[in-house]
Chain A
Amino acid sequence: MNTREAWLDAVRTHLDEQLNTLDAETLSRLNRARQAALEAAPQTRRRPWMWLGMGMATAAAMLLAVSIHWNQATQATAPAAQGLSMEEYELLAGGENLELIENLEFYAWLDSQQSALDG
């Protein structure tokens, strides 16, 4: 072993021993520093496609909400057939009522003639 290697080995040995003789407090501080650094890792990993994904998820949720609301509104404006009474059914179904509507002017004239005779 030549002189140069001897001094270099001495330096290496000295530095290695330094690593193995660190006190508990220093090791604890290093551990805490590492944990603090790792806490920052996920926050830095938001890639553009992840923002796109989150945007698409939001859009899908909004689309779902709008479609549900739309369906409810459509159902609300449809005829509420189940709310009709029997008399109303009869009025709607009665053929004579349809005849009355079709000849409404005649019945109005007839009514005015009757009023004139009464008067």
Chain B
Amino acid sequence: MIAWSLPTPMAMPAAAPAAETALRTRLDRFLKGVERRAYRMAMLATQDQQDALELVQEAMLGFVRSYAEKPEADWLPLFWRVLDSRVQDHHRRQNVRRRWRVFFFSRDEEAEEQDPIESAPDELGLGPLERLVADQSAQAIHDSLCALPDRQRQAFLLRIIEGLDVAQTATAMGCSEGSVKTHLFRAMDALRRRLEAHR
């Protein structure tokens, strides 16, 4: 019988689950290693815990969907690239929302929204992260990093803190190596001036 002489139909894709499991394990290990740092970067960019967590989730999902098949050596700059893209999208959305708010609401209403008592930090409700930055020196560092323009902060965090080289940083930021150097120089200069003045 012809039908019985053919190879078993499921024999070819049988190796696929094993490969998928191996890939999944490697992805899990990679994402586990990078998730906290990604959250820290998103927090510095958004200043909002919920937004930061959502951005990290979107970045993880986008990375797995688009770049899981790439060589593992390329994963790190590609992951930062996805996160950077999500952060920029977030800022664009925020800007649009802010413009509409300015358009629809009067200044009186805005002043009402920015009630200083309401917006004052809740000292009793401080989490570990906030308790840390409550320290004066830590607060200065935090403020200095937050005060940097997005691209400068990205260049500083990726190049100096994450340890990517210039080419990888350029890939992660989606710009030229020259731009990375410029952003990094400006970031280092601004941070040095602010932090040395604080000391």
Binding site for A on B (CB under 8 A): 1-4, 6, 9-10, 12-13, 16, 19-20, 23-24, 27-28, 31-32, 35-37, 39-40, 49, 53, 56-57, 60-61, 63-65, 68-69, 127-129, 131-132, 137-138, 141-142, 145, 160-161, 191-192, 195-196, 199
Contact = CB atoms under 8 A, between A and B. Distances in A.
Interface string A20-43: 011100110110011011101110
Q: Is the interface of A mostly helix, strand, loop or mixed?
A: helix
Contacts, number: 127
Contact of A14 (B63, B64, B131, B138): B138
B65 A3 contact: no
A10 B137 contact: yes
Q: Is the interface of B mostly helix, strand, loop or mixed?
A: helix
Contacts of A36: 57, 60-61
B128 A23 contact: yes
Contacts of B138: 14, 17
25 contacts: A3-B196, A7-B191, A11-B145, A11-B161, A15-B40, A18-B129, A19-B37, A23-B127, A30-B53, A34-B60, A36-B57, A37-B64, A38-B28, A41-B24, A45-B20, A45-B23, A50-B13, A50-B16, A53-B13, A54-B13, A60-B3, A61-B9, A63-B2, A67-B1, A67-B2
